[in-house]
Chain A
């Protein structure tokens, strides 16, 4: 085939492509620019429960102890017990059905992937996305070890972050059962309703409300 014919065919094919109503309808406003793979890779930092998105890397609790002490312990305590009002990270097993549930990565979080996702994107507090991938795996490993979920030499990595079994994996249910707590009668009571009206508590007596200087 001559070069001329080739060029004519290519041009015709391209014209047909541009004029195709199917393609035109796919991008109705022609706004925005195509993201490059590098641009997507820089921002697409989430890690799913099946491990999708986990960056290549690994770390164990032995190495994690040092980085945890350096980057995390100031708020979360040397053993994940927490300083002041900062979140407790370790312990709490068996407390979820008690009067004082303690929700930690070990007692409550259903997926190890969430630990990686959150620590990398948001921790240390005020130094977001400053940890390396390996440092993040090391901190995850240290917290899993402190919660008796893995051994101290277990290498947490992109290959197994989606398979680590968390103790409270089955502690959540859906779909949302609401609306709930609805009155039995179709119309709510309007007169002489049988309800308790004794005062059993006053916020004033609890006395934790901030005061306003007049």
Chain B
């Protein structure tokens, strides 16, 4: 009976709505530097390398950061192993009424979105990160899609939701959610990446995690109506060249989008991965702007205005513009260039044993399909082409793997994505040479994970 009680206790813990993940963010007294809407820790790398001693100390202090018992498979209870009957076998498990909305196993409670407290002034205008290192395939589960809000998550009442379309149109119209769902629908998988993904890494390896350095991306299937169908309904005037998309949140998020993109593949979506949008992803409706920076995918969308010039909103002038070394800034840098990341091994996914392993990663491009991903284990000197796992879709995360054998040696792991336009994911040196280190956005450089001799993994910068 003792075993059964244990199972019940686990179940009741899972059902408790007040249960919070056992994660504590430890405050760091880092010296911070304001960089637009991201804050950067003072760059220690700039003027040189670290001593041998600090390198050794760093590796030794690693321990098992980010590794749970479940993840490592360590310390198994022999009573549950063959030839014994496992403790969960003899007794009845939970009934079908125990979890009307299913949740992950309690042993997966470490697989959560996480934020970096020092990045922003408040959690309402902030970001958290998708745990890419814990995911398989190319679909991101809805509850793990990273969040970026500028005024918190509004609680929109669906019966009171309205989408207004006004400006240079024949008819200014207001749609209910049900009316939007009566238009012809489209179902498409797309990645969504924040333009600031990797923005903390411009000057050096700063955050020691796959989640924190690449996790501002997710990939889900959207269901919605194409904007070109809504445009036909309102009748767009010939002089309309731009659209202003505006959210109903406390930030009133607004962005200008050229009409060519609107008429190409943009959608108003009400569902993700088969269910209603999550509140933090724009419930009940959001804009989908395939391949373009996430800030333009306005959530809780309440209004679209057709006009003859861009609106120059705060998020396309003071933010989401890319400052170059000469003090001038690139404006309207919408497309997310090809990028890839090795999700395992990675700082959160140490190599635990010698022998054969599967290197895993994700690649994506806002310009089209991924055609090839190369992987290097020696810091970019030699490369092998990884296997792509289908479906390989347009403007979508693509899974890649490469088997490798580890015998306790140091590795410098990199991945390099290529897309159907011939674009090759650049090195950080090549990006810095073009753009300097202050542009914050659109860092799609190849990252380097160093596998240490003890199997732990570090985010490092080569030079």
Contact = CB atoms under 8 A, between A and B. Distances in A.
A132 interface: no
Interface in A12-42: 26-29, 31-35, 39-40
B68 A192 contact: no
A172 B462 contact: no
Nearest to A97: B327
B26 interface: yes
A201 B45 contact: yes
Given A196-B463, A201-B50, A211-B26, A46 B244 contact: yes
Interface residues of A, number: 87
B334 interface: yes
A108 B36 CA distance: 11
A96 interface: yes
Given A35-B174, A201-B205, A128 B462 contact: no
B461 interface: yes
Interface residues of B, number: 132
A85 B45 CA distance: 23
B327 A111 contact: no
Given A114-B317, A172-B329, A182-B423, A208 B312 contact: no
A70 interface: no
Given A202-B459, A213-B24, A181 B50 contact: no
A191 B54 CA distance: 32
Given A45-B252, A176-B333, A196-B463, A31 B28 contact: no
A125 B305 contact: no
A188 B318 contact: no
A34 B165 CA distance: 10
A214 interface: yes
A195 interface: yes
Contacts of A196: 429, 462-463
B337 A208 contact: no
Question: Chain B contact residues: over half helix, strand or loop, or mixed?
Answer: loop
B171 A48 contact: no
A108 B331 CA distance: 12
Contacts of A87: 34
Contact of A204 (B49, B62, B305): B62
Nearest to B456: A204
B460 interface: yes
A43 B165 CA distance: 10
A66 interface: no
Contacts of A27: 171, 232-233, 235
Contacts of A28: 229, 232-233
A28 B226 CA distance: 14
Nearest to A37: B172
Contact of B207 (A50, A114, A203): A203
A109 B334 contact: no
Given A121-B252, A174-B332, A208 B49 contact: no
Contacts of A171: 327-329
Contacts of B176: 32
B97 interface: no
B380 interface: yes
Given A180-B434, A204-B62, A209-B212, A174 B331 contact: yes
Interface string A166-210: 000001111111111111001011111101111111111111111
A112 B337 CA distance: 31
B150 A103 contact: no
A183 B303 contact: no
A205 B44 contact: yes
B103 interface: no
Interface in B171-224: 171-176, 179, 182-183, 204-209, 212
Contact of A129 (B212, B252, B317): B252
A91 B84 CA distance: 72
Given A46-B311, A176-B335, A32 B179 contact: yes
B311 A48 contact: yes
A141 to B, nearest CB: 18
B30 A207 contact: yes
A142 B302 CA distance: 31
Given A31-B233, A182-B426, A209-B212, A195 B380 contact: yes
A122 interface: yes
B235 A199 contact: no
14 contacts: A26-B170, A27-B171, A29-B183, A85-B118, A100-B33, A111-B312, A122-B250, A179-B421, A179-B423, A192-B381, A202-B55, A208-B207, A211-B26, A212-B24
